[in-house]
Amino acid sequence: MLALTIVLGMLGAIATIAQIALLSEIVNAVFLLHRGLAQVLVPLALLMGALTLRASLLWGREVTAQRAAIRLKSSLRERVFAHLLQLGPAWSSGERTGELAAVISEGIERLDAYIGRYLPQLVLSVVVPLLIIVVILPVDWFSAVLLLFTGPVIPLLMALVGSNTSKRTRAQWATLSLMSAHFLDVMQGLTTLKVFGRSQAQQERIALISDRFRDKTLQVLRYAFLSGAVLEFMTLTAIGVIATMLGVRLLNNGISFDSAFFILLLTPEFYRPLQELGVQRHAAMEGAASAKRIFEILETPLATGVEPVVEESFPTGPITIDISALSYTYPRKEQPALDGVSLQLAANTCTALVGRSGAGKSTLVNLLMRFMDATSGTIRANGVPITALSPHRWREYVALVPQRPYLFYGTVRENIRLARPEASDDEITHAATLAGVTALIDELPRGFDTQVGEQGMQLSAGQAQRVAIARAILKNTPILILDEPTSCLDPDSEARIRQSLTSLMRDRTVLVIAHRYNTIALADRIVVLEDGRIIEADTRDALTLSAHARLLGAVSTSEVSEGSIERHTAPHSSAYASAD
Amino acid sequence: MKTFTRLLAFLSPLRWRIALAILLGSVMLVSSISLFGMAAYLIAAAALGPLLVLLSIPIYLVQTMGIVRATSRYVERLVSHNTTLRLLAHLRVWAYKRIEPQAPAHLLVHRSGDLLARLVADIEDLQNVYLRVVSPMVVALVISLFTFGIFSIFSPELAWVALAFLATAGLGVPCLSAWLSRGLGKQQVAARAALNTQVVDGLQGIQDVLAFGRSQAQLEGLAACDCALGRVQRRMATITGLQSALGDLLMNTAMWVLIILAIPMVATRYIDGVYLGVIGLLILASFEAVQPLAPAFQGLGHSLTAAERVFAVTDAPPPVVESDTPQPVQVNPGGYTLSFEQVHFTYLPGEREVLSDISFELRQGLRVAIVGPSGAGKSTLVRLALRFRDPTSGIICLNGQDIRPYNLRELRELVGVVAQDTYIFNDTLRANLLLARPQAGEAEIEAAVEQAQLTEFVRQLPQGLKTRVGELGLQMSGGERQRLAIARAFLKNAPILILDEATANLDALTERALLDALDELTLGRTTLHITHRLLGMERMHEILVLERGSIVERGTHEELLAVEGLYRQLFDVQQGVLTLS
């Protein structure tokens, strides 16, 4: 496609040359040979043809260039997105998602000027001037040589002045963006300013800072614009010199009028592609920065190992997971996040995992989900290493309810159906009932068809988690991994989530990252993780509250002596245990 | 049209600079038109073989026009950038003045990040009205008239034809492409937004996407969005291509028609044959003035939409109007009592009441807590107390007097606030502190830092209090940000204190560590404590439990626990959380 753009560009140049040749022929015929209109009808008709052709080629060039850019952007965008999905949540977590999303949607758009204009222009700026020289050479070798020598001066000058000013220009854009950053900063902090009675003083500050930035920017621009001015002066002076020399040689009968006029008209065409290159280069700069970031992402190696050759599968039924000597160290980190963890999650039991933030809980979940593969150690499911399956296949056995489940932009129904696209509406309603989310859905303006997510209704953390539990129920897998919300929920969500969990946990191998006494009370086994190691793992009854309370320093000892955790059904029997 | 006139009004203080830039822009084009005209004349005249002396003036002009053009262009660029930057400063100050009284308006509070960034970008966009719209249009008009004048020397017929072509290229083509691409701009914005949503969805929900094996579906979704965007962009490319092709075609056709018209005139000696080439080159060179008009029209559409969005915000009436004759707040050595009397509040007429029938008294030296689930109306209550909003009915009193007649600034000076989302400016730590009291001395700053338990944090910083913080500088953790807010409150040293979910976004351990500093801050101050976390409630003189805008329970901690109502439920939920994360 881009090659076509270049070809069309060259054909356009040829049409231009033809147009100029015809024009000089006509002018020569009328002016010197005193021909009438009737005698120049043929070249006039040809001229009309040439200029129509030239305009059509210009159109074609623009369209093909843009189409090439669109196609390239699409394929690049899909490649980057696919790669990011493969890199998984461990790589693209948290605040990074904003930047990455911007790269994929806006960053790639910025390649437009680079692909569609700069690249073809790069070729044309060499080919078209050469073509013009080749055309002029038989007509007048003297002018051809003159152009041949002045032409390269422009890119040379551009490179020379450009490298100097581009630094300055970049600095200028940096100051400009700093200036708007300041304004945005003030606007964002407006409420804070008002509370402190400082908002009106800011008004003068905005004016003052704008003035200061203006002075600085203009100082820089004085130099930055100079290169453009020198360039322009050079080309126009060259045209002037060529015109003068042609005139002088005409006087001395050194050249014919039609040749001289032809060359005069062609001279600006010779410099034009070079000047355009300068303009396009400027626009392409922005794209170059985006391109760099895009290739950085594409070159990031994947965190999961190679795909297995033979796909193993397990018989349907309960699954026991054996974790042995599992370690993981994040790239560019020295301290392992998980350090030789061995643990069995027996079939159809519930294990509660507790630990401070940063203890390695999420790392363990990421490894169990195969969002990344362990540095050493293995995870086996019914004796088969999970790396024997493709990550995609393995995940079919696992349901995950994350701490902050994500609701996609779409209806509630679509969000639940995500777990099993072929599920019927009845099955979805059933899953929602089991998750205790029907009452909530009924309250929504359009029930199951209410749009949620980024641009739809905002559900609270507790509500989102209940939808996620419905998802997990619908998926109906032998293994369930659940990350409890840490924050306080409203009393209603709290009670309902407990109910839904109880039904979800039945007949599954469950690992729950617990933040609540009541959840721990539901578990068969409690595992305490600290600094990437398991420091206590025992059945619920044996591991008393006092043991891990001392560890975690969260509960005062006087309260602890009251006894161990019991399986509570009353809503607040352990409530006072942690009161200060 | 109304929007455009309003936009033009911003230019009036800069009119002389703009006139200068337009003059320079015209000189630049006149010089290049002259250069090409003269060059054509020079060659044609030389072909007739006169003496070299007769050609000295054209030669001189051809040699110097290059420098005139380069210089005038250089100066024009400087002048217009200067003007644009000045315009931008005006626009910002103007917008700030209009928006300041509205804060914290809906726009600035609810998921404000993107909307606000958009508003700021829109204000920035308005500067283009001058650089990309007004200036090229006026220059095009001047040059068209200049070209008309030059051609009139040859023949009025040629002059009118030249003008007609210039007008068609300058007005007709942009109008045609605007008509062809009508709606496409909006479609593109929509397609881009859909694409963005798809990408953000995929990345933010990556855990769920992978866990449910939906990668392929996500990729297909992206491809579909991409395809839709590509369709719009291809249509736009066809139109922009057509636009530049038409511009080119008109330019050359103008030359073609003028030559055809001139040929008989040359034959009848009405025009000297020497000028035939000149006519061709003059019209080609003058088209440089009208070519930028098509992008200018597009820029105008852009700026008008941006302006409409900006005006929509700036034209909104401020939610609170200060009295025309503001009364000074009486200094009361005995302290201040703030009371709500049967306050009702709705954000928009007809909407559900956010607060209904709220009455309470925050007496001098006492601590009152307002608790309740999220969405109960707690933050609205704070806004009313700071007079960012006025009650729909009922009154808020300071020492028994309605607060509305008071000077707003003095009123707010009485209140210190520690809110959950403390804003930190991109400035030094010191500047962020001084905000609370610009005239504070070194010792006072240090004392505030000490009291907020920030001393250790500041000591670790290489540049201490001079360290830049905020988005562009040092990133502070949630706990550190809140300590900074507490230090600000210490510096401000206001008699009334509002703690608005001061620890809401912190994890339990950080929260615990912060409570000491907060305790010290509330010592001896009349405190309104807004929270959904029930910590230290036994120290409150009164607790109001808010649900759906109404006070459903009130009393002390012990009393409320005994009631077994909402307060009890909230308390139990909270006690069930492990405080180890």
Confidence band, pLDDT 50/70/90 cuts, at residue A44: very high
Per-residue pLDDT of A139-185, as tens digits, reads 888 889 888 888 887 777 767 766 666 666 666 666 666 777 778 78
Interface test with B, best of A42, A192, A198, A259 (most B CBs within 10 A): A192
The mean pLDDT of B520-543, rounded to a whole number, is 86
- Structure token digits, residue A320: 């026991």
Which chain B residues are closer than 8 Å to A178 by Cβ? 472
B550-555: strand order across its sheet: B415-419, B496-500, B526-531, B367-371, B542-547, B550-555
Q: Which amino acid is at B392?
A: T
Interior CA angle at A95 toward A79 and A475, to 5°? 65
d(CA A43, CA A26): 7
Q: Does B462 touch chain A (CB under 8 A)?
A: no
Q: How far is CA A559 from the centre of its chain?
A: 51
Percentages (nearest 5) of helix, strand, coil residues in chain B: 65, 10, 25
Per-residue confidence band for A562, with pLDDT thresholds at 50, 70 and 90: very low
For A359-370, the pLDDT digits (tens) are 888 889 989 988
pLDDT digits (tens, 9 = 90+) for B501-510: 887 766 666 7
Optimal mutation site among A25, A195, A580, interface B, most CBs of chain B within 10 A: A195
Interface of B with A in 399-428 (CB under 8 A): 409, 412-413, 415, 417, 419, 422-426
- The mean pLDDT value for B57-79 works out to 91
Question: Residues A415, A417, A422, CA angle at the centre, nearest 5°?
Answer: 155
Substitution target from A78, A168, A196 for chain B, most B beta carbons within 10 A: A196
More confident residue, A198 or A569: A198
Say yes or no for a CB contact (<8 Å) between A197 and B413: yes
Nearest to A180 among B120, B509, B566 (CB): B120
What does the alpha-carbon distance between residue B369 and residue B386 come to, in Å, rounded to a whole number? 16
Question: Is the pLDDT reported for residue B211 higher than 50?
Answer: yes
Would residue A555 be called left, alpha or beta, if left means φ above 0 and alpha means ψ between -120 and 50 degrees? Answer: beta
Q: What is the pLDDT of residues B457-493, one digit of tens each?
A: 888 888 888 988 876 567 777 788 888 999 999 898 8
Q: Within the 293-352 window of chain B, which residues sit less than 8 Å (CB to CB) from chain A?
A: none
Mean pLDDT of chain B: 86
Cβ pair B556, A495 in contact under 8 A: no
Nearest chain B Cα distance for residue A88, angstroms: 7
Question: Does A63 sit within 8 Å of B238, measured CB to CB?
Answer: yes
Q: State yes or no: pLDDT of B159 exceeds 90.
A: yes
Instruction: Return the residue of A nearest to B437 by Cα.
Output: A196
Question: Distance between CA A482 and CA A523 in Å, rounded?
Answer: 12
User: How distant is the Cα of B187 from the closest Cα of chain A, in angstroms?
Assistant: 16
Amino acid A352 reads A
Residue A578: pLDDT over 50: no
E-state strands within B382-480:
393-398, 401-402, 415-419
Mutate to test the interface with B, among A172, A187, A203 (most CBs of B within 10 A): A187
Check CB contact under 8 Å for B435 and A225.
no
Q: Which of B32, B74, B126, B199 is the best substitution to test chain A (most A C-beta atoms within 10 A)?
A: B199
Interface of B with A in 170-209 (CB under 8 A): 192, 195-197, 199-209
Q: Does B577 touch chain A (CB under 8 A)?
A: yes
- For residues B33 and B83, what is the distance between their CA atoms, to the nearest angstrom? 26
* DSSP track, A37-97: GGGGHHHHHHHHHHHHHHHHHHHHHHHHHHHHHHHHHHHHHHHHHHHHHHH-TTTS-TTHH
Of residues B412 and A572, more confidently modeled: B412
Interval B169-190: pLDDT, tens? 999 999 998 888 888 888 888 8
B30, B32, B33, B73, B295 from B20: Cα distances, Å = 15, 19, 20, 12, 23
Residue B359 pLDDT > 80, yes or no?
A: yes
Q: How many whole angstroms separate alpha carbon B481 and alpha carbon B475?
A: 9
Please report which confidence band the pLDDT of residue A489 belongs to, taking 50, 70 and 90 as the band edges.
low
Instruction: State residue A355's pLDDT score.
Output: 80
- Poorest-pLDDT segment among A259-273, A545-559, B50-64, B126-140: A545-559
Residue of A350, A346, A397 lying closest to A370 (CA atoms)? A397
Distance CA B445, CA B450 (A): 9
List, for residues B421-449, the tens digit of each pLDDT value.
778 888 889 988 988 888 889 999 999 99
Checking if the pLDDT of A131 tops 80, the result is: yes
| B53 reaches A (C-beta below 8 A) | no
Question: What pLDDT, on a 0 to 100 scale, did the predictor assign at position A570?
Answer: 34
Report how far apart, in Å, the C-alpha atoms of B309 and of each of B83, B122, B289, B305, B405 are. Answer: 23, 8, 31, 6, 33
Contact B220/A at CB under 8 A = no
Whether B70 and A229 lie within 8 Å, measured CB to CB: yes
Percentages (nearest 5) of helix, strand, coil residues in chain A: 65, 10, 25
A7 pLDDT above the threshold of 50: yes
Whole-prediction pTM value? Answer: 0.79
Q: Is 90 exceeded by the pLDDT of residue B543?
A: yes
B541 within 8 A of B366, measured Cβ to Cβ: yes
Instruction: Identify whether A138 is preceded by a cis peptide bond (ω within 30 of 0).
Output: no
Spell out the alpha helix ranges (H) of B155-292.
156-167, 173-180, 184-204, 206-211, 215-267, 275-286
pLDDT at B150: 94
Query: What are the C-alpha distances in Å from A461 to residues A70, A407, A506, A526, B378?
Result: 39, 10, 24, 25, 19
To the nearest whole Å, the CA of B252 is away from the closest chain A CA by: 6
Closest Cβ–Cβ partner in B89, B207, B246 for A89: B207
Per-residue pLDDT reduced to its tens digit, A45-86: 999 999 999 999 999 999 999 999 999 999 999 999 999 888
DSSP string, B261-276: HHHHHHHTTSS-TTHH
Neighbours of A454 (CB within 10 A): 16
Dihedral pair phi/psi, residue B428, rounded to 5°: -75, 165
What is the per-residue pLDDT for A579? Answer: 33
Which chain A residue is nearest to residue B263, measuring alpha carbons? A37
Query: For residue B284, what is the nearest residue in chain A, using CA coordinates?
Result: A265
What residue of B is the nearest CA neighbor of A479? B211
CB pairs < 8 Å spanning A and B: 444
Under 8 Å CB-to-CB from A299, ≥6 apart: which residues? Answer: none
- A340 CA to chain B: closest CA distance, Å? 22
One-letter identity of residue B283: I
- Among the partner residues B89, B210, B574, nearest to A210 by beta-carbon distance: B89
Check CB contact under 8 Å for A100 and B203.
yes
Each residue of B489-526: pLDDT tens digit? 989 888 899 988 887 766 666 777 788 888 888 888 89
pLDDT per position as a tens digit, B270-329: 989 899 999 999 999 999 999 888 888 877 888 888 888 888 888 888 888 888 888 888
pLDDT value at residue A516: 74
H helix or E strand, kind and range, residue A449 = none
How many residues in chain B?
581
Alpha carbons within 13 angstroms on the beta-carbon side of residue B60 total 6
